[in-house]
């Protein structure tokens, strides 16, 4: 900027130079002895001598041999790092550049592809590298998707494990509509349990942590506190299933109890069987038969038994 504004004015250059300094450079300039600088060239030399340790080191082409692709480093990251290093090397021969790129790739499919195709120019190498980078990006996207899926599953498991035991698990009713009984569900449950129409659940009567049990509510089906029989979705679905099978007709208004029906039908059937063989009509006559006798040799044996048959 100084040379652009005043390339030949020594006074302007010397006065403008400190306005572009900051930090350590400005501190250096402020400590220069008064009258120690007589020209801009002398000022520039003094500046370079003082800050020579901070000068950017210029690498040679041999430096590229130290930039190797890491075992887990993607091709895109490696080529970016390699390109940054080549910028620091002046007048880099393209053939040296290409040779260094191919020689220090990590073992794998891409290195094998380069060894087979043998690209002659940097442009050919970049074309093949672009295809490989797309493949790696696709694989990485799939890995990210799988990791995200595993995290969601792990979060769901932790959420289930850390679920507040005071909050009961809510089941979804299985039926769209339910039968209206003429008796409370709790009484029906107790009666059909006593009649052994159903069996109690395997874990009936087992309680969770007593600190979280609401003893103001009791379920006759699970035989435990914490919720009422009317609130129990399992018991409600069970009664509905039994009702639809016709096993709870006596608890439903307008239906004939089928058990009574069966008993009446059995009694009627038994009466019919009895009446079938009963007959009040007097017998028409009596037939006397003699068993055990036979004729032989001109003699007849005596009668041993007399059987009377009414007809």
For domain 61-159, the CATH class is mainly alpha
Residue by residue, DSSP assigns 16-84 as: HGGGG--HHHHHHHHTSPTT---SHHHHHHHHHHHTGGGSPPPP-GGGGGG-PPPTT--HHHHHHHHHH
Domain with CATH 1.10.1200 in the chain: 61-159
The span from the CA of 294 to the CA of 181, in Å, is 77
Q: Which of 2-16, 56-70, 200-214 has the lowest mean pLDDT?
A: 200-214
Percent of the chain with pLDDT over 70: 69
**Mean pLDDT on 208-236:** 78
Specify the pLDDT at position 305: 44
The Cα–Cα gap between 249 and 80 comes to 81
Expressed in angstroms, the distance from the first to the final Cα of the chain is 147
Per-residue pLDDT reduced to its tens digit, 85-105: 888 787 888 888 888 888 888
Cα(131)–Cα(76) distance, integer angstroms: 11
Listed in sequence order, the DSSP H helices in the chain are: 2-5, 10-16, 23-30, 40-50, 75-87, 94-103, 109-117, 122-161, 185-194, 233-244, 258-277
Write out pLDDT tens, residues 19-55: 888 888 889 888 888 888 888 888 888 888 888 766 6
- Mean pLDDT on 229-254: 86
Rounded CA-CA distance 38/109 in Å is: 65
Tens digit of each residue's pLDDT (9 = 90 or more) over 160-215: 555 555 555 566 778 888 888 888 888 998 898 888 888 877 766 565 555 666 77
């Amino acid at each position: 900027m100084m040379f652009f504004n005043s390339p030949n004015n020594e006074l302007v250059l010397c006065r403008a130079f400190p306005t572009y300094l900051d930090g350590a450079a400005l501190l250096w300039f402020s400590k220069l002895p008064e009258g120690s600088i007589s020209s801009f060239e002398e000022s520039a030399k003094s500046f370079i001598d003082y800050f020579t340790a901070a000068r950017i080191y210029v690498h040679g082409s041999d430096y590229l041999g130290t930039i190797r692709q890491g075992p887990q480093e993607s091709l895109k990251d490696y080529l970016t790092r390699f390109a940054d290093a080549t910028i620091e090397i002046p007048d880099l021969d393209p053939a040296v550049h290409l040779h260094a790129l191919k020689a220090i790739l990590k073992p794998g499919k891409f290195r094998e592809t380069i060894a087979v195709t043998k690209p002659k120019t940097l442009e050919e190498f970049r074309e093949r590298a672009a295809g490989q980078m797309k493949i790696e990006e696709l694989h990485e996207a799939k890995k990210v998707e799988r990791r995200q899926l595993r995290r969601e599953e792990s979060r769901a498991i932790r959420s289930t494990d850390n679920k507040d035991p005071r909050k009961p698990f809510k089941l979804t009713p299985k039926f769209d509509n339910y039968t209206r009984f003429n008796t409370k569900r709790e009484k029906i449950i107790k009666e059909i349990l006593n009649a052994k129409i159903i069996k109690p659940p395997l874990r009936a009567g087992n309680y969770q942590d007593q600190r979280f049990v609401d003893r103001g509510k009791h379920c006759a089906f699970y035989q435990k506190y914490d919720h009422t029989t009317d609130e129990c979705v399992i018991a409600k679905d069970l009664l509905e299933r039994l009702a639809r099978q016709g096993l709870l007709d006596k608890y439903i208004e307008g239906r004939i109890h089928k058990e009574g029906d069966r008993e009446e039908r059995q009694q009627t059937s038994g009466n019919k069987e009895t009446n079938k063989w009963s007959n009040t009509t007097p017998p028409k006559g009596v037939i006397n038969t003699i068993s055990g006798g036979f004729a032989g040799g001109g003699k007849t044996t005596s009668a041993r038994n007399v059987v009377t048959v009414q007809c």
